[in-house]
Amino acid sequence: MLSVLEVKRKLPAKFVETLYENYSPLTVDNILAGMAGERNTTLRVNTLKSNIQEVMQVLKKMGIKFDRVLWYSDALILKEAKEKQMQKLAIYENGSIYLQSLSSMIPPLVLAPKENEKVLDLTAAPGSKTTQMAAMMKNKGYILANELDALRCERLKYNVEKQGATIIEVNNGRGEVIGKKKEAFFDKVLLDAPCSGEGRFLATDAKTYRSWSEKTVNELAKLQRKLLKSAWQALKEGGKMVYSTCTLNKKENEEVLEWAIGELGIKIEEIPLEIKNAIPAISEKKEVTKAIRILPSKETEGFFIAKLRKV
What burial letters (b/e) apply to 178-191, b meaning 16+ CB within 10 Å? bbeebeebbbbbbb
| 234 dihedral zone (left: phi>0; alpha: psi -120 to 50; beta) | alpha
Q: Write the CB contacts of 231 (distance below 8 Å, at least 6 apart in sequence).
A: 120, 122, 175, 178, 179, 189, 191, 241, 243
Give the C-alpha distances (Å, rounded to integers) separating 195 from 52, 74, 212: 32, 27, 10
The answer to whether 195 is a known catalytic residue is no
Q: Which of 246, 281, 288, 291 is catalytic?
A: 246
Q: CA 67: distance to chain centroid?
A: 21
Rounded distance, CA 277 to CA 32, Å? 13
* Alpha-carbon gap, residue 143 to 88, rounded angstroms: 30
The strand pair at 42-45 and 97-99 is best described as antiparallel
Catalytic residue list = 246
